[in-house]
Amino acid sequence: MSRKPLIVGNWKMFKTGAEAKATARQLVCLIEDRKKVEILICPPFTALSVVSSVLQGSLVQLGAQNVHWGDDGAFTGEVSAHMLLECGCRYVIVGHSERRQIFLESDAIINSKLHKVMEKGLVPILCVGESIEEREADQVEKAIVTQLEKGTRELNLKQRTNIVIAYEPVWAIGTGKTATPQIVQEVHRILRTCLADNFSWKVADQIRILYGGSVKAENVTELMSEEDIDGVLVGGGSLDAQAFARIVEAC
Ligand code: PGA
């Protein structure tokens, strides 16, 4: 089964509109002809529109880092899927561990977001991952399978093939401690098997499972050589256009 690799840059709460525009411009020049992989950047909300105009006609796509589960309403500080579409987004990161831990997003909330995102025609990137305590207590499988099953609850047949999963062990995010390719492959296999059990192997084989956590040009090739690793979600390593372009190149 060939799954087109997806390389995602998550800029988190970094870059003003002007800074984001400059980085996006640089990136578009650097990765003009990379057609074998799909490339996506997720700037902060305030930079989406300006980055969208820079990306017009390029191979770099636009995504958001978060979304609300409703259509519209009195939700101070929130942004809807419809608004993201209007900004030119195609993907949305849902359930990042920083959203789960700092902003206390539950699996139920994450599932509602997933449904809304798909209803509007955007592709969700559902993040799952264990904490260091869970890993040390041998609870990795339980933690990730629970997040995956609760997060993807009640998706219809068409929606099932249209999601991306990102495995991001919390202990590897922003720490410089990348999980080894063997650890990641093992977890991705568990996730794919879980998708097959809940959906079917035909569907599970089509779903891209990305890895995220201290990815850089030096470790990405080895990670991508594993059978079930279909791309990467890059935080810190995506902020500099040249560094991110090197990661894309290495893929
Ligand atoms: P990192 O972040 O690459 O800085 O570890 C990854 C992420 O949080 O998506």
pTM for the whole structure: 0.97
**Do 225 and 180 contact (CB within 8 A), yes or no?**
no
Q: Calculate mean pLDDT across residues 224-243.
A: 97
Q: Give the domain ranges of the chain.
A: 6-250
Q: How far is the CA of 219 from the centre of ligand 1 (A)?
A: 14
Tens-place pLDDT, residues 24-41: 999 999 986 767 899 999
pLDDT in tens, 148-166: 999 999 998 889 999 999 9
> Which superfamily does 6-250 belong to?
Aldolase class I (3.20.20.70)
Q: Does 173 sit in the ligand 1 pocket, CB within 6 Å?
A: yes
pLDDT at 78: 98
Best mutation site among 173, 178, 239, 244 for ligand 1 pocket (most ligand atoms within 8 Å of CB): 173
The closest-lying atom of ligand 1 relative to the alpha carbon of residue 233 is: 9
* Cβ atoms of 186 and 142 closer than 8 Å: no
Nearest-atom number in ligand 1 for the CA of 238 is 3
b/e map 197-236, b = 16+ CB within 10 Å: ebbeeebbebbbbbbbbbbbbebbeebbebebbbbbbbbb
Atom of ligand 1 nearest to the CA of 10: 9
